[in-house]
Structure 1
């Protein structure tokens, strides 16, 4: 009965507008919930959810493997020691004689110091093509402190019988594991480098870790397995237990018509690399490259064979020497020499403007310049006498670096480089700049001297006959940075520009003793205070930033104490100010645009005010400035007869005072406005 009554009242309930709206809203919510649940059901069917969310194997395996393999790179990236490859970061590995682009698989060879780089028609690296792989993830990074490029690839193997590796015998055929097993990720790591101590050698290290139950197979494609380049011929050389390939050819003719003979020896590598289940592979492929000087085509016919044989003999000899060495020893030697070479540098701590290069840009530029510069001082074939001469040149207090600092020279510290050719051009520009700024001796030494000159130029440091001076512009000291490993005598000096809690810059100097200790002293601008002896204490020494008039260097460092004490008497300064006082004098206050805006606003305000006053008193419909006495009601005014009877005593009132007020003052009493004029007339002329 109750339900029947409610059903009978339902049409009446739905007749109201609010009930219909509520019913439509509930229906819309039901539809939205149904669509959302159906979408979740479709996703659960395996279309969109990652494998880890379905507890089923899938394509997320390689990415998870890659994340674990590259986790150690995060700290290196934060310290600016590792740079992921991408736009603006060419994959260059070089040693001053050889330059290799690992991404495009190209080779450059520099025949001489002042000769342009030659590009032989030769594929430098071995390409690895995984077999029977269903998914892959990879990443590559430049390790700046190790001088190499590392590429990591995570491979997910497919089901046996579905790829070229199906015919390979082994436990994989009997395991029958599904394609998505969590144990199917194979880690492939490749290291590409041009050896720092051996200018004619470059290598590729291949490491494969196979934790799966199957055989992992890689097909090798490159100069040792693929077709021979058109401009090169190859022969298989066998010496004892060693086998290697010998490639002979010539470079592309230069615009002048000259050509170079090129000889490459390469360790022989099989066409297919196979790694058994639960095992690892570590293979290092070596190359040796020798090139002749420029040869005229006519001379090539008569003397080409003799020149080519000499190059082949050199390449054979060095290859046999390398094959006798453990590959791990060769790699460790390169890493040690590169770390020793890269010990000086620039560290960016705080950047407050857009024109200062970032720490990543600085480190990447230093890496590229070291890669493109030869280092004869590190060569094992260097004689003892030649080594002493180069060491003396490197430690000589030349007049490097003269001129202003290069910190804000964007063409010397570019944010992006698109190709290896641009890097080679940048290296030539740096060498030319250093030579023109008093660093010829450092450039002659090679990579260590060029790095020294770049560090000096960044902060504006200059060697003179008696001291090392820091002549940075006082107006750019709001950036914090540190210069490491500056050679001075037998020691290394570290100089940092830091900012305290109040925003005031100061200098921090520390010393690293190398060999026999030498006393080194320092004093700030003007040497107003006694010089301080620098020691190798961990805390170092701090100096306040003083600015002289006229401007002189901010810091002096010397081994001659008397020389620094005499400087205060020979600089002839007008004043010595603290940095904040100097900046206060240089700062003109608020910018011109601010004062121009304020003056414009004041002028516009007065013009607007003048316009209001003009429209009020002089514009159309304006009230007269003076008017005669009149009744407030406006019903009667003094006509000509009343004015004559008044005897000329009527006066005009100023508009600034209301008529009622003026009349009330004259009558001496406060009356209603309708009686003001009558009362005033009676007071003035009782006869009215």
Structure 2
């Protein structure tokens, strides 16, 4: 008999007892036993409510989950986000497409794509004759692709449509949409695709003395049939260009047609886009997941980085940008003194780490970050576009700033209670050799933090105060202790020149230098489990086992009492009878 039937039977037996019988029943049991029975009743209610509230996903939603499994590795590494962790937006700084499907541009002197048009460049699609469809959104932060997954059950199998969008990272006028139909069923799937309605009014403009009338016509809808056990992919390419004051309408149209003819035949379109995003991620930041309240984790960091870069032009990576312009921008970025000045942006709560649900939220987040980085000394780095923005973003998280040709890591030793890593930050003068540095922050068995530092070229590093002989950095990571000074100085200094650090030793004036204190075990446990308790795991395991045994015993006791029926130890009739025959 399960818990539900046992509880129902118990209630039925209890209802058969009159009011006086219930009073006698209460008096019959000691208070401690009544308390145990009450605990069991509460436990049964809890189990029943949990079992009734737990629901299994629908078949359509299960189909969606099966498709999402192809990106499990990216999701686990926080390189992709699903649904509430996704960002329903694509952009390359020149244009974007928001969650409503509208094309967006940047207004004059705006840092973000804040102008919403009423033009929908995408193609909508739906499986015909299917009313119930499971849907999910997935954003690939690493490759700059937004996906919408739609699935339905046909003949007991999953038929899915996966719509992918990306604004090309290195070709600033290209928007690509792929519609992939997966049909493993025994029936032919019909897909209806159409362009949303757009303005069809005649518009007039002047070209000299001539009046030119133009009209935009809707693209008719069309159907696609996908045969049994087949997959089909449809690709739609849209070329976007803005009208400048110097160009006439006819010149702009010719430009768009020419670019469309060029990209439609390219077989490297996808690889160029992914390579562009890969270069943006050469400057990286990651940290160990934390379950502490209000902690920033990799999902929010990577999503926020994606939002910022989607609103920023990649000027040094784009096709068609003259090499002379690229060199000027890169030299400007090397004049990076005082970028980034300030405390780490890895603080929460903060206006920098807002949630997003609308296109305006994305504009606010991107605009606030770009303004913060600019005002914190990174204006020269930001001029290179998305490459410089990615670098400044990582420096702000690590409180890493350039001063007189060396890099300082200004994190507070008390904040190093989570293991993290960052790298890809170029170090070097405007004319000298540049090396990219990578820094890993670890915690040893004594709960003390330390650095593991490596570089792609020969660099030099010293710890807080620079009182010891500088370390020589290379491709093999070097362990450097974390020290604290009085007054407080940066924890780590990295430069291209050993002599520079030796001279820096005389310029850093401190009165005390010592090893960073060990972190409290409760604080580390708070990040690991979300609770700050110091009790060992074995204690909680034993407690759970004891509770299980206790409740089993309690259930057996209640069952035995219920089986006894009315064989009560107290019966007034029998007592009077026995007292009558008792000898005096």
TM range (shorter): 0.7 to 0.9
- Counterpart in 1 of 2:188? 215
> 223, 227, 237: which is aligned to 2:197?
227
Structure-2 change in CA distance of 1:25 and 1:92 (3 Å): same
- Counterpart in 1 of 2:395? 456
Matches within 5 A, 1:74-223: 74-86=72-84, 89-101=86-98, 103-110=99-106, 114=110, 117-133=114-130, 135-157=132-154, 181-183=155-157, 185-222=158-195
Partners of 1:270 and 1:332 lie apart in 2 by 30
Structure 2 regions of 5+ residues with no counterpart?
A: 1-8, 17-54, 206-213, 429-433, 521-584
TM-score (norm 2): 0.72
Partners of 2:175 and 2:218 lie apart in 1 by 11
Does residue 549 (structure 1) correspond to residue 486 (structure 2)? The answer is yes
Partners of 2:345 and 2:15 lie apart in 1 by 71
Structure-2 change in CA distance of 1:407 and 1:477 (3 Å): same
Partners of 2:464 and 2:218 lie apart in 1 by 60
Q: Which structure has the larger Rg over C-alpha atoms?
A: 1
350-359 or 455-464, which deviates more: 350-359
Does residue 316 (structure 1) correspond to residue 257 (structure 2)? The answer is yes
Does residue 472 (structure 1) correspond to residue 411 (structure 2)? The answer is yes
Partners of 1:438 and 1:484 lie apart in 2 by 20
Structure-2 change in CA distance of 1:114 and 1:509 (3 Å): same
- Counterpart in 2 of 1:276? 227
- Counterpart in 2 of 1:571? 508
- Whether the aligned pair in 2 keeps the contact of 1:265 and 1:316 (CA below 8 Å) is no
Give the aligned length: 465
109-118 or 131-140, which deviates more: 109-118
Partners of 2:415 and 2:339 lie apart in 1 by 21
- Whether the aligned pair in 2 keeps the contact of 1:142 and 1:150 (CA below 8 Å) is yes
- Counterpart in 2 of 1:6? none
Matches within 5 A, 1:117-516: 117-133=114-130, 135-157=132-154, 181-183=155-157, 185-222=158-195, 226-230=196-200, 271-293=222-244, 307-326=248-267, 329-349=268-288, 351=290, 354=293, 356-408=295-347, 410-489=349-428, 490-511=434-455, 513=456
Structure-2 change in CA distance of 1:352 and 1:565 (3 Å): farther
Deviation at 1:94, TM superposition (A): 0.9
- Whether the aligned pair in 2 keeps the contact of 1:269 and 1:285 (CA below 8 Å) is no
- Whether the aligned pair in 1 keeps the contact of 2:407 and 2:495 (CA below 8 Å) is yes
The 3-state SS of whatever aligns with 1:291 is: coil
425-434 or 104-113, which deviates more: 104-113
Deviation at 1:400, TM superposition (A): 0.5
Structure 1 regions of 5+ residues with no counterpart?
A: 1-20, 29-49, 52-58, 158-180, 234-247, 250-262, 296-302, 584-688
Partners of 2:490 and 2:427 lie apart in 1 by 18
Query: RMSD over aligned Cα, in angstroms?
Result: 3.6
Q: CA-to-partner distance for each residue in 1:277-305, whole Å, 9 max, x for gaps?
A: 23321111111111225x7xxxxxxx9xx
> 39, 57, 71: which is aligned to 2:69?
71
Deviation at 1:89, TM superposition (A): 4.8
Partners of 1:95 and 1:139 lie apart in 2 by 23
The 3-state SS of whatever aligns with 1:413 is: helix
Q: CA-to-partner distance for each residue in 1:59-84, whole Å, 9 max, x for gaps?
A: 96534433322213333222111111
Deviation at 1:192, TM superposition (A): 1.0
Structure-2 change in CA distance of 1:205 and 1:582 (3 Å): closer
- Whether the aligned pair in 1 keeps the contact of 2:289 and 2:298 (CA below 8 Å) is no
The 3-state SS of whatever aligns with 2:116 is: coil
Deviation at 1:491, TM superposition (A): 2.4
- Counterpart in 2 of 1:11? none
Q: Higher RCO, 1 or 2 (CA under 8 Å, sep at least 6)?
A: 2
The 3-state SS of whatever aligns with 1:96 is: coil
Does residue 535 (structure 1) correspond to residue 486 (structure 2)? The answer is no
Partners of 1:156 and 1:286 lie apart in 2 by 30
Structure-2 change in CA distance of 1:567 and 1:582 (3 Å): farther
- Whether the aligned pair in 2 keeps the contact of 1:352 and 1:479 (CA below 8 Å) is no
- Whether the aligned pair in 2 keeps the contact of 1:195 and 1:334 (CA below 8 Å) is yes
Structure-2 change in CA distance of 1:428 and 1:136 (3 Å): closer
- Counterpart in 2 of 1:46? none
Structure-2 change in CA distance of 1:105 and 1:153 (3 Å): same
- Counterpart in 1 of 2:565? none
Partners of 1:338 and 1:508 lie apart in 2 by 27
Q: CA-to-partner distance for each residue in 1:624-682, whole Å, 9 max, x for gaps?
A: xxxxxxxxxxxxxxxxxxxxxxxxxxxxxxxxxxxxxxxxxxxxxxxxxxxxxxxxxxx
Deviation at 1:361, TM superposition (A): 1.3
Q: CA-to-partner distance for each residue in 1:483-523, whole Å, 9 max, x for gaps?
A: 13212233221112222222111122122x2xxxx420111
TM-score (norm 1): 0.62
Deviation at 1:404, TM superposition (A): 2.0
Deviation at 1:548, TM superposition (A): 1.4
Partners of 1:143 and 1:354 lie apart in 2 by 26
Deviation at 1:364, TM superposition (A): 0.9
- Counterpart in 2 of 1:559? 496
Deviation at 1:473, TM superposition (A): 2.1
- Whether the aligned pair in 2 keeps the contact of 1:266 and 1:285 (CA below 8 Å) is no
- Whether the aligned pair in 2 keeps the contact of 1:266 and 1:288 (CA below 8 Å) is no
Structure-2 change in CA distance of 1:279 and 1:355 (3 Å): closer
Structure-2 change in CA distance of 1:204 and 1:458 (3 Å): same
Q: CA-to-partner distance for each residue in 1:537-587, whole Å, 9 max, x for gaps?
A: 2xx11211111111111111011111112222232321112212999xxxx
> 60, 63, 81: which is aligned to 1:62?
60
- Whether the aligned pair in 2 keeps the contact of 1:266 and 1:287 (CA below 8 Å) is no
Deviation at 1:346, TM superposition (A): 1.7
Partners of 2:424 and 2:294 lie apart in 1 by 25
